[in-house]
Amino acid sequence: MSARIPKQPSRSATAADADVDYICVRVVDTLLREDVRGCASRGELYGADAVPGAAHGFDAGQQWLRVPRLGAGTLWIPVTPTRYMQDWRLTRLPVLHEADGAFSALHQVESILAAFAGGLPEADARLFTAYVDECRAAARHRTVSMAERARWFAQADRTAGHALRAWNQRMLHYDRVAGFLDHPYYPTARAKLGFAADDLARYAPEFGPAFALNWLAVPRQHHHASGDALPPNWPDFAEVGLDPALASSHALVPVHPFVWQHHLDGFLAEAGLDGQVIRAPRACLRVSPTLSVRSLVVLDAPAWHIKLPLTIRTLGAKNIRTIKPSTIGDGHRIQTLLGDIVRQEPGLHGQVLLTDEANGAHVDQRPFLGYILRRYPEPQLVDKTVVPVAGLLAETASGQCVAEELAGRYHGGDLDAWLDAYLALTLQLHLTLWLRYGVALESNQQNSMLVYGDDGLRLMLKDNDAARIDRAMLARRWPALAARLDGLEDQRIGVDAALPLAQMFVTITLQLNIAALVEGLAQRRGTDPAAGYARVRRHVEAVLADLAAAGEDTACARQVLLDDDRLHLKYLLTAASLAEKAQTGATDVNKFYGKRAPNFLRVAA
């Protein structure tokens, strides 16, 4: 199939058009980073005289990456060298398409993706076409969200979030601020596929909504619970409008109102449950969404969060946000393992907090019916400020980013001192887990939180059901700890090689939770990020030296982190949207890797 390049529409400078361009640039950068169709690895670099760039406003020094053999045409991408996650990034739009000696300018993501799909079999090309819908949704949702941010900031006072009265108010505030900041590497993470603009206002954290949950009464033979603790204001049958006598034969299961309204009937019919469950007539238990959208804080018992299945897709069309029943038990098993490790590590004890993930339920293994209850360690948070790593670069109503606010409050305005504190604790935690225990966490920007108080910084971890663990190493060195993992349901968690742990550490801790910060802060300060990476390297070397002195084998980590020219990176877009699992071979769309990222820590040496 040879993809046709659509005619370009006229352009205007509206906010919506700017958001369309913004998403398009992010997509092209990601295509280069993930080497989609070999655009980076087999592309050839040319100077400005190779194309009619001047006709489109490019200067005489512009470099062009020529990507041949895309169907009947050749793509010319204006590029600028970089060392952040890739060798080349898009200078700006347009991209040029050459066919039969004639050049056309591609300003829109639809035409650029069509060019990338050129010459592919129809089934493969269809994935590129389908991704266009996600790009459009991302642009629309960005426009709506940025308008809401402007409205909220205009009415807000300039008081920093850490000045709010209650810890849970501070946490929700920073989750909302974080909601306006895009994912560093997945270009259309802004899209909540399945939500219309009105649904964003009702259910997305950017809008700070509150709503009540719907409820199903499920026969107890279909209800499978883990743990028996519930929030203090969990409703009874009478409160949701049902006969109290049902309590002897049924259990109440919360349902997100979006699922209740749009998808529940079909799900129940498909599962053969429609005639067995009872829909409660009354909504009950008011909640607000956190940054993850489907995890909801119980407003009258804010130490409790409820994670519910939600039939939207984020970070790719394959990532539907239901709840796999195995994650209920696995998350708790890994949480208890981490708790034991933290308690026996002097450098981590008291410095790392964990949410309690012991309680939840599913209905006959159905991923669309169930919940996880997450309990925050409230006594240790009462006087604290909790901030997700995902929000550290988000701009606040004051014009500062969140990291600058925290540095001002807790480090006398010294941003380098703030970064040192963050790096020291983050690297000590994750390098110790990796090299001493064989544990690598998918502690991404949402699941890692900073806990700040007048007594300093702690880290808090949640939602650890997607770890990678060398179970043989753990059992050999720490048999009592390894017993914590008995009964693990997701067999992908256990690995028997060093590489998966290194890949997880590099792509989550180093790139997502550290490198994105280094780059963002350097951009805000107008400084060279190399100085930030030199700081990171010093911290890595110090932790590795301590671990080596304690007898740990750090050779693999030194090679991967400090000596190799290239780092692994996640091919997020490829695995989640542009290729089938049969093509990638990845058992998890969030863990498909390529070793293409320049090693910024090696340069920092």
At 137-186, the pLDDT tens digits run 999 999 999 999 999 999 877 666 778 889 999 999 999 999 999 999 99
The predicted pLDDT at position 605 comes to: 56
Query: What is the H or E stretch that residue 321 is in?
Result: strand 320-321
Mean residue pLDDT across the chain: 93
Q: Measured between alpha carbons, how far is 296 from 309 in angstroms, rounded to an integer? A: 11
Q: Which residue reads 């809008």 in tokens?
A: 207
The predicted pLDDT at position 158 comes to: 66
Tokens of 13: 């400078």
Q: Do the beta carbons of residue 84 and residue 515 sit within 8 Å?
A: yes
The predicted pLDDT at position 4 comes to: 34
Would the pTM of this model clear 0.75, i.e. be above it?
A: yes
Q: What torsion do the CA atoms of 45, 51, 57, 61 make, to the nearest 10 degrees?
A: 40
Instruction: Please report how many Cα atoms fall inside a 13 Å half-sphere around the Cα of residue 553, on the Cβ side.
Output: 6
Tokens of 58: 């490019």
Q: Which residue reads 């966490």 in tokens?
A: 441
Query: What is the H or E stretch that residue 451 is in?
Result: strand 448-453
Please, which pLDDT band fits residue 5 given cuts at 50, 70 and 90?
very low
At 318-348, the pLDDT tens digits run 777 888 999 999 999 999 999 999 999 999 9
Q: Do the beta carbons of residue 363 and residue 222 sit within 8 Å?
A: yes
What is the Cα Rg of the chain in Å? 25
Beta bridge partners of 216: 253, 279
Q: Report the candidate in 313, 318, 320, 312 with the shortest Cα–Cα distance to residue 576.
A: 318
Q: Do the beta carbons of residue 307 and residue 323 sit within 8 Å?
A: yes
Query: What is the H or E stretch that residue 58 is in?
Result: none
Q: Do the beta carbons of residue 459 and residue 388 sit within 8 Å?
A: no
Burial 475-486, CB ≥16 within 10 A → b, else e:
eeebeebbebbe
Q: Which residue reads 């067995």 in tokens?
A: 276
Residue 61 has a CB neighbour count (10 Å cut-off) of 7
Q: Supply the DSSP symbol for 263.
A: T
For the cut 60, the answer to whether the pLDDT of residue 481 exceeds it is: yes
At 359-408, the pLDDT tens digits run 999 999 999 999 999 999 999 999 999 999 999 999 999 999 999 999 99
For the cut 70, the answer to whether the pLDDT of residue 295 exceeds it is: yes
Non-local (6+) Cβ contacts of 381 within 8 A are 167, 303, 353, 451
Q: Work out the percent of the chain whose per-residue pLDDT is above 90.
A: 86
Largest CA distance in the chain: 82
The predicted pLDDT at position 313 comes to: 86
Per residue, what are the HEC states of 535-584? Answer: HHHHHHHHHHHHHHHCCCCCHHHHHHHHHCCEEEEECHHHHHHHCCHHHH
Q: What is the mean pLDDT of residues 397-422?
A: 96
For the cut 70, the answer to whether the pLDDT of residue 246 exceeds it is: yes
Non-local (6+) Cβ contacts of 457 within 8 A are 410, 421, 422, 425, 450, 451
The residue type of 185 is: Y
At 482-521, the pLDDT tens digits run 999 999 999 999 999 999 999 999 999 999 999 999 999 9
Q: Measured between alpha carbons, how far is 485 from 470 in angstroms, rounded to an integer? A: 11
User: How far is residue 478 CA from its own chain's centroid?
Assistant: 31
Beta bridge partners of 387: 450
Sign of CA pseudo-dihedral 192, 194, 195, 196:
positive
Q: What torsion do the CA atoms of 267, 271, 277, 279 make, to the nearest 10 degrees?
A: 10
Q: Supply the DSSP symbol for 395.
A: B
Q: What domains are defined for the chain?
A: 15-123 (3.30.310), 191-376 (no CATH), 384-598 (1.10.510.40)
Please, which pLDDT band fits residue 11 given cuts at 50, 70 and 90?
very low
Beta bridge partners of 440: 468
Instruction: List, in sequence order, the alpha helices (H) in 34-189.
Output: 109-116, 122-155, 167-179
The distance in angstroms from the start CA to the end CA of the chain is 48
Q: Which residue reads 């994750």 in tokens?
A: 430
Q: Measured between alpha carbons, how far is 170 from 164 in angstroms, rounded to an integer? A: 6
Instruction: Please report how many Cα atoms fall inside a 13 Å half-sphere around the Cα of residue 168, on the Cβ side.
Output: 18
